[in-house]
Every structure is written in C-alpha cells, then in structure tokens.
Amino acid sequence: MKLSVARHPRLRLLAAGFLVALGAALAGCGDASGPGAAKSSFKAVDITGLDYGKSLKLSDPDGQVRSLADYAGKLVVVFFGYTQCPDVCPTTMAELAQVKKQLGADGDKLQAIFVTVDPERDSAELLKAYMASFDPAFVALRGTPGETQAVAQGFKVFYQKVPNKDGGEGYTLDHTAGAYVFDTQGRTRLFVRYGTPIEAWVADLRTLLAGG
C-alpha cells in the first residue's frame, strides 16, 4: 500500500515515522492487495487493530484532564496541529465542522479533538477561542512539552520547530498532516490524509456509525 503525505510550500508536513510504522503493521497483517485479501470499505487508510492513542491524557482549556474514555459512544477524530499554522490546521478543522454539519442528526456523535504541538505559544485561552471559531463542541488539549512529545509518539506523529528564514525569534512547525478516527467503542479505525474530500469523510463516518 502506498501512502502519500500532504505537503504545502510553506510547511514541510512530514510523516515518515508514521508511514514506516504503519507500513510495517500493515505488512504484518498481510498485503491488502494480495489474492484473497479482504478489501476495506473505507476511503481513508484502514488502521483497525493498531494500538494508537493509549497515551492520550492531556488537559483541556478548563484544566480538566481528558482521555479518549471521556468520549465513549462517540466517533472521535484526533488531529495534531497548532493555532499559528497558516493553512493545513485551520483548513482541517473547518472541514471537520462541515463534516459534522453534513452528518445531520448524527453530527452530535462526532467529537473532534485538536492536540497542540506548540504548547509554549498555545495557551488555554487561545485554544478555547480557536476551537470556538470552528465549533464550540470541538475540544483542544495541551500538555507540557514532555507530555506532548509522549502523546505524539503514541500516535507516531512527527513534529519539529523550524526557525524563521529571516533569522527572527519566531518559528513554524513541521508536523504530520492527517487525522485519526476512533469508533464509538474507542477502537483505532482510520487515518485520514490531509486533503481528503468532505464527502469521503462523511461516507466513512457513516459506515462506522452503522457498525462497519
């Protein structure tokens, strides 16, 4: 299976660690394109059975520690980013808001979680305002730099600071572009690449809600 990574000229969005780990896991499960292999009904990358997200335990903007268990019974989408991201992060969150709307009555069964990889600049207040600009029900989580690194490693998420080219004190962040989807029973199910059409998102989430 060949996986692509969304890239933008202003951000080197890399996912080498994720791709290597995922490739090895899929190889261990057999070649999905081989004879007699079951074809996934999903448009996103099916990662059912892989052990992601166990270390997700970070604070929300109100200071309450959250984990996946807090959202049992819902489809949970976890995305790693930062509020000063110029394009991929706001685009992804805006698309998730549209996905929720297109799910109609089932929209309340979708919980989006934004994990900041820039806790030094992303304060609780900033994260709360950032989420509210997309959907007040979306949740942002943050931790110390060490906690953030541990959680990112648990998801095989890559991120690193990139100094500004002008030599100033600011920086951007390279980071994995894509989101993880957990089903209503808290099981890892999908990795959705950046740039996936909203219609594909909705189709896959409806499949999961139907027990797929």
2-16 tens-digit pLDDT: 333 334 444 444 443
Determine the pLDDT at residue 172.
93
pLDDT band at 209 (very low <50, low <70, confident <90, very high): very high
Domain ranges (residues) in the chain = 16-28+41-161+170-209
d(CA 211, CA 58): 29
> Half-sphere exposure of 190 toward its Cβ, with a 13 Å CA cutoff?
28
Average pLDDT, the chain: 85
CA distance 6 to 81: 14
Of 157, 202, 185, nearest to 44 (Cα)?
A: 202
How far apart (Å, rounded) are the C-alpha atoms in residues 177 and 36?
32
Q: Which residue has the higher pLDDT, 4 or 18?
A: 18
Does 89 count as an annotated binding residue?
yes
Q: Is 29 annotated as a binding residue?
A: no
CATH number, domain 16-28+41-161+170-209, options 3.40.50.970, 3.30.70.20, 3.40.960.10, 3.40.30.10 = 3.40.30.10
CA distance 81 to 91: 11
CB 97 within 8 A of CB 136: no
Instruction: Report residue 70 as tokens.
Output: 């807090």
Q: Which of 18-22, 48-52, 85-89, 197-201 has the lowest mean pLDDT?
A: 18-22
